Structure 1
């Protein structure tokens, strides 16, 4: 009888075009220090462009929330080296969380410029869409700077439609209708 090498749920080996392999997996509490380290490698412009806010470091509150998601209402995935959590460098983070009192989830994706443009954002977005569908949600959306053309194009290629942002003219709300 053959032994199958099954990975745990939400885990996937992903080969980058540059030949490196990363592991896409749910975040673990031990990922806090590597996440903090990876965050500091990003310049202030990148942070604003991807997280929609100023600042050049991740706060302890942000780190706690990111590494301890509520499994009933949110998912946080990382793309990391194939080392144990806490030792692996994290190159990308993707989060989706259900908006309380709705059947919608909001997503955020952060990909380090060291691995940007190699398909990680697309693969992470696909996983967020799969999670939202499994939760039987009606829609998944994320707020993206209009100037962040790669993310706008990526979301559009996966069926997300741009809508005006309710409060900021610099942002687009990229929306994917999941019903049906």
Structure 2
């Protein structure tokens, strides 16, 4: 009997309650095409909640930039079909980026409505928190539309607090997690 094949770091299988099997893994440059293609499947409200404004298309340049994070200051995971990068449909992207000359990072998560509400966003957020802690950062934050109640509830359930930034848009809420607090 052979031992099960070990997955590389930050790779894991994730089974949705619906039974669908996804592979969570670091984003790869080959994912740019599938991410750009999947963008057309997103509804206007999904796009607005993630990008905070209406965006007609994800240009090839934007997709390339998204799929090639700077390993020193950025980290991005995808939840995709269990096919090779470039072939797999990407259903979710979670990203964190260290703010220049600081000990804090900003996160962003987009989960397609096709697989939303099944625990994937929570799982991805926990992975972003783990990465931020491994980098010895002090804070993790994200800007969320006040109408995005599922994201605000998720953040609160994970210990984030809501902060209204003075210079922010009136319909934005910043959610902040102090990474130095004991769990």
Q: CA deviation at 1:157?
A: 0.5
Q: Distance in 1 between matches of 2:156 and 2:123?
A: 14
Q: How well do the aligned residues superpose, as a CA RMSD in angstroms?
A: 1.3
Partner of 1:21: 21
Q: Distance in 2 between matches of 1:116 and 1:64?
A: 25
Q: CA deviation at 1:19?
A: 0.5
- Equivalent pair of 2:69/2:75 in contact (CA under 8 Å): yes
TM-score (norm 1): 0.96
Q: Distance in 2 between matches of 1:147 and 1:63?
A: 26
Partner of 1:134: 134
Partner of 2:99: 99
Partner of 1:176: 177
Partner of 1:32: 32
Counterpart of 1:140 in 2: which secondary structure? strand
Counterpart of 1:107 in 2: which secondary structure? strand
Q: CA deviation at 1:64?
A: 1.6
- Equivalent pair of 2:161/2:175 in contact (CA under 8 Å): yes
- Equivalent pair of 2:36/2:60 in contact (CA under 8 Å): no
Partner of 1:155: 155
Moved more, 128-137 or 40-49: 40-49
Q: CA deviation at 1:179?
A: 1.8
Q: Distance in 1 between matches of 2:41 and 2:147?
A: 21
1:88 is aligned to 2:88: yes
Moved more, 27-36 or 160-169: 160-169
Q: CA deviation at 1:10?
A: 0.6
- Paired residues, what number? 180
- Equivalent pair of 1:43/1:56 in contact (CA under 8 Å): no
Runs of 4 or more consecutive aligned structure 1 residues displaced over 2 Å after TM superposition:
1-5
